[in-house]
Amino acid sequence: MKNLIFGEMFSESMPRLTVQKLNLTTLNDLEKELKDNNDILDKTADELNDAEKEADDFGDEIDDAGKQSESAGGKFSKVKGIVAGFGKALAGATAAIGAATVATGKKLKDMADDTAAAGDEIDKNSQRLGLSKKAYQEWDYVLSQSGVDINSVQTGFKSMTNSIDDAKNGSETATKKFTALGISMSDLKAMSREDIFSKAVEGLQNITDDTTKAALANDLFGKSGQNIMPLLNATADSTQNFKDKAHELGMVMSDEAVQAAVDYTDNMDTLQRTFTGLKNSIMGDILPGFNDILLGLTGLMTGADGAKEQLQLGTQEIVTSISGIFPQLTEILLTLVTAIAGVAPSIIQALVTGIAENLPNGYALSLCHCIKSHFLLNCINKRHQQKDHVDFESVFAF
């Protein structure tokens, strides 16, 4: 761990100090600076004890590297090995982070697609049944516990709606259906369709005679009345408990979440159609050239006059079309790349921060010091570009 972290600080700066450029004075200065800064390096290494115990040996390794070397090559041979090892580790870490980022992005996209599909289905089906989004999700769970697919009772809701309309229009037969279930004419006029459905189900559940219950269910819901008989044989309390449980377990999306899912689905559809339209527009300009080429090839095989010229004309038309389209495509691509490049750092920073905040303390500290060592490395590189040696104390002072 120590080698990986502190090796980074030397990974780009040390190779610049070649044997040819170092003189004896420079070597002595470097050795003195290394020894003078051992305490500072040891203090920095102590911060990593929770993440890696080996960090305490860092000062000794640097000191050993200086004592065992009489020349520049010998002095930095060990550092070179550390740098090489860190380079491999950094490449592996970079690849892992990149792969994790891509995998995370794809997973989030898949989750968004699944949620959007669920929300869009809730929105569309609730409208077909004449239920609110909340009521649709509640009854979806309640019916599923009775082995019934809510979408299979769509005809039953339609039959009930027709009975409601008939009763409001003065039908005595329709009125008697609801009266038998404890629903008055004033209730039909004041209540929503989903409230009438709930009241009708509760009324049927309270009927103890199975024959009467089945007949009323068939009259009100048609063939769907038989399908929902397991629900009608339950109690009103158990039905309410299932509704409450659906909320407790997070099965019910809010109206805002459902609308967001609908918007996502619509926007994705618009984007896909936009790409399709762009493709069709481009190929629409190129197709005439392809047609000339096809006719030219046919003419060549049949010996028709002017076939060669038509083939050449078609080729020229394609080239001209592509030449006109290319600048437009380039502009679009550059705009996309610029936009993505602008937000990518923020996304990566948020991802790293999120990971670090959820790691155990020791690992989080290690990650923070890895990031810190990256900035140290850049600082050392800049200083090497300005002078022959590095003032480590000023580097670590930040």
Residues 28 and 92 in one domain: yes
Question: Comparing 118 with 387, which gets the higher pLDDT?
Answer: 118
pLDDT in tens, 322-352: 887 777 777 777 777 777 766 666 666 666 5
Cβ–Cβ < 8 Å for 85, 7: yes
Domain annotation covers residue 291: no
389 token code pair: 């040696």
pLDDT in tens, 208-257: 999 999 999 999 999 899 999 999 999 999 999 999 999 999 999 999 99
Domain annotation covers residue 320: no
Domain annotation covers residue 263: no
The C-alpha atoms of residue 62 and residue 52 are separated, in whole angstroms, by: 18
Residues 157 and 240 in one domain: yes
Domain annotation covers residue 121: no
Per-position DSSP letters for 89-151, written without gaps between them = HHHHHHHHHHHHHHHHHHHHHHHHHHHHHHHHHHHHHHHHHT--HHHHHHHHHHHHTTT--GG
By CB neighbour count within 10 A (0-12 exposed, 13-18 middle, 19+ buried), where does 25 fall?
A: exposed
Residue 23 in this model has a pLDDT that exceeds 80: no
Domain annotation covers residue 306: no
Residue of 323, 321, 325 whose CA lies nearest to 288 = 321
CA dihedral (377, 383, 388, 393) positive or negative: negative
| pLDDT at residue number 60 | 54
pTM score, whole prediction:
0.56
Among 30-39, 171-180, 220-229, 237-246, the range scoring the smallest mean pLDDT is 30-39
Classified as helix, coil or strand, 304 is coil
Domain assignment of residue 387, given as a range? 2-96+371-396
| pLDDT at residue number 70 | 46
Choose one of 214, 239, 255: the last residue of a domain: 255
378 token code pair: 């850049």
pLDDT in tens, 264-276: 999 999 989 988 9
Residues 245 and 145 in one domain: yes
- Mean pLDDT to the nearest integer, 277-286: 86
CB count in 10 Å sphere of residue 120: 17
Give buried/exposed letters for 217-228 (b at 16+ CB in 10 A, else e): bbbbbbebbebb
Residues 137 and 250 in one domain: yes
Choose one of 255, 289, 310: the last residue of a domain: 255
Domain annotation covers residue 296: no
| pLDDT at residue number 354 | 63
To the nearest whole number, what is the mean pLDDT of the chain?
A: 74
First-to-last alpha carbon distance for the chain, in angstroms, is 22
Residues 67 and 160 in one domain: no
Domain annotation covers residue 66: yes
Question: Comparing 45 with 127, which gets the higher pLDDT?
Answer: 127
| pLDDT at residue number 330 | 78
Residues 40 and 145 in one domain: no
Residues 152 and 55 in one domain: no
Cβ contacts of 184 within 8 Å, gap of 6 or more: 178
Residues 163 and 227 in one domain: yes
Choose one of 255, 275, 302: the last residue of a domain: 255
Domain annotation covers residue 210: yes
349 token code pair: 């920073």
Cβ–Cβ < 8 Å for 179, 188: no
CB count in 10 Å sphere of residue 392: 20
Residues 61 and 6 in one domain: yes
**How sure is the predictor about 203, in pLDDT bands with cuts at 50, 70 and 90?**
very high
Classified as helix, coil or strand, 228 is coil
Per-position DSSP letters for 325-339, written without gaps between them = HHHHHHHHHHHHHHH
Residues 141 and 230 in one domain: yes
Per-position DSSP letters for 144-200, written without gaps between them = HTTT--GGGGHHHHHHHHHHHHHHHTT-HHHHHHHHTTT--HHHHHHS-HHHHHHHH
Structural domains counted in the chain: 2
| pLDDT at residue number 232 | 93
- Mean pLDDT to the nearest integer, 373-394: 51
Residues 48 and 151 in one domain: no
Classified as helix, coil or strand, 49 is coil
Residues 200 and 90 in one domain: no
User: In which residue are the tokens 């300009």 written?
Assistant: 285
**How sure is the predictor about 71, in pLDDT bands with cuts at 50, 70 and 90?**
very low
By CB neighbour count within 10 A (0-12 exposed, 13-18 middle, 19+ buried), where does 279 fall?
A: exposed
Rg of the Cα atoms in the chain: 38
| pLDDT at residue number 48 | 44
